[in-house]
Amino acid sequence: MKNNIHHILVGISFFLLLFTSCSSSDDIVINVEQQQQEEVITDPGPDDDDMDDMDDNNSEPLEALVLTDVSYGDNAQQVYDLYLPEGRLATKTKVVVIIHGGGWTSGDKDDMAAFVQYFSENHPDHAILNLNYVLAQITGPAAFPNQYQDVEAAINQIIAQSDELQVLPEFGFLGASAGAHLAMMYDYTYDTDDLVKFVINIVGPSDFTDPFFADDPNFPLALSLLVDESQFPAGTDFAVANSPALVASASSSPTLLFYGDQDPIVPLSNGQTLANNLDLLNLEHAFTIYEGGHGDDWSNADLIDLGIQTGSYVNTYLSIE
């Protein structure tokens, strides 16, 4: 890890010390058939005509609708794509939320196209929210807790518009790398109403006290640049407070864990610590270790297995009656 960070430091700012080399989420793919073409609408949100089309009192089933770059805040990066299925109803159509990786400083929802395709084809009755969040920069907002709050703002907007959108505000989360970290942190610390029913964590950092991170002399600076200290109580141990494995509680959701046994970016020990702590909390979870690194070199058989386990979690914890 130290050699990896020292390599990253060449030619880039100190702010990208840690995890900037995280694979883009589109390197972690699921083998699925080519998605059928759909009409895509770029829209800041549903307008009055859209709301009329979504009226549950219509005699005809609602048609599928894709809304892209829907704004949920003032920052241009606070947008999501929303895929609404045909025949949706506010009484049954639940929502899968997808969060991209990129070391909290890079990446885009477009990186998660393979997962959008997977859910569209294998779970066509679910709505899909593919989320962007404000990327951390030295001159801009830090990642923590602002990116958790971005997730919260997007979820709150879906809840507020659930009747108009004709969706049921119950959610399942899937995140890759930094996106998995955000998914876990939101569920484990923000989801007080238990609207999140599961988290699928693909190579997500879960324990910043792990010696893999903590023993690196560059880590304190990297963490300080990722944390907005003003938003935490005085005396907070920021490594602990931002580690999903260490903030999980008995109210956390079932969690599916996928890690590589040779990951140079997020160590296998992070997955092991998370699995052990979920065991101690008696929380439902499954921990799968694949041969390889940060998801970009996993075998086709492993990726198929990931898809099968993901589908089982959706059917178990976010089923549509």
Out of 1-10, 282-291, 300-309, pick the least confident: 1-10
Query: What tokens were used for 64?
Result: 């599928």
CA–CA gap between residue 4 and residue 22 (Å, rounded): 11
Determine what percent of the chain is predicted with pLDDT higher than 70.
82
The 10s digit of each residue's pLDDT in 39-89 is 344 455 565 555 544 544 456 999 999 999 999 999 999 999 999 999 999
The band of 131, judged by pLDDT with boundaries at 50, 70 and 90, is: very high
Using the predicted structure, report yes or no on whether residue 179 has a pLDDT greater than 80.
yes
Q: Are 212 and 19 spatial neighbours (Cβ–Cβ below 8 Å)?
A: no
For tokens 């790398």, name the residue: 177
Domain count across the chain: 1
C-beta separation of 226 from 144 below 8 A:
yes
**Three-point CA angle 132, 273, 237, nearest 5°:** 70
Provide the token pair at 225.
């640049």
pLDDT of residue 10: 21
The pTM for the full model equals: 0.87
Q: What is the pLDDT of residues 198-241, one digit of tens each?
A: 999 999 999 999 999 999 999 999 999 999 999 999 999 999 99
CATH number of 24's domain: 3.40.50.1820
Is residue 290 exposed (0-12), middle (13-18) or buried (19+ Cβ within 10 Å)? Answer: buried
First to last CA, the chain: 46
Which of 268, 309, 308 lies closest to 292 in space, CA to CA? 268
CB neighbour burial string for 168-201, b if at least 16 within 10 angstroms, e if fewer: bbbbbbbbbbbbbbbbbbbbbbebeeebbbbbbb
138-169 tens-digit pLDDT: 988 999 999 999 999 999 999 999 999 999 99
- Supply the range of the domain harboring residue 46: 2-317
